[in-house]
Amino acid sequence: MKHPQSRAMHHRYFEFLLAVMLGALFLALPVRAKVVVDFDPNLDFSKYKTYAFIGGVENLVAIQLNPDLIENRMHHSASRELDKRGLREVRPEENPDLVVRYWANSSRQMDVAVAGNWGPYGAYVGSYWGFLFESVSASSKKEGALIIDLIDPRAKSLAWRFYLIRKITNPDKEWKKADEEISKAFEGYPPSDKAKEDKKKERTEHPPKSQ
- pLDDT (tens digit per residue) in 39-81: 999 999 999 999 999 988 644 444 445 666 778 888 999 999 9
Check whether residue 119 and residue 172 sit in a common domain. Answer: yes
Check whether residue 200 and residue 148 sit in a common domain. Answer: yes
Q: Are 120 and 52 in contact (CB under 8 A)?
A: no
Domain that includes residue 55, residue range: 32-205
Check whether residue 19 and residue 56 sit in a common domain. Answer: no
Give the alpha-carbon dihedral of 89, 47, 202, 122, to 10 degrees.
50
Flag whether 77 is in a domain: yes
pTM of the model: 0.71
Flag whether 211 is in a domain: no
Check whether residue 55 and residue 10 sit in a common domain. Answer: no
Each residue of 112-132: pLDDT tens digit? 444 456 777 877 777 777 666
Check whether residue 104 and residue 59 sit in a common domain. Answer: yes
CA distance 7 to 166: 44
Each residue of 129-185: pLDDT tens digit? 766 666 666 555 556 678 899 999 999 999 999 988 776 556 667 778 889 999 999
Flag whether 102 is in a domain: yes
CATH of the domain at 175: 3.30.160
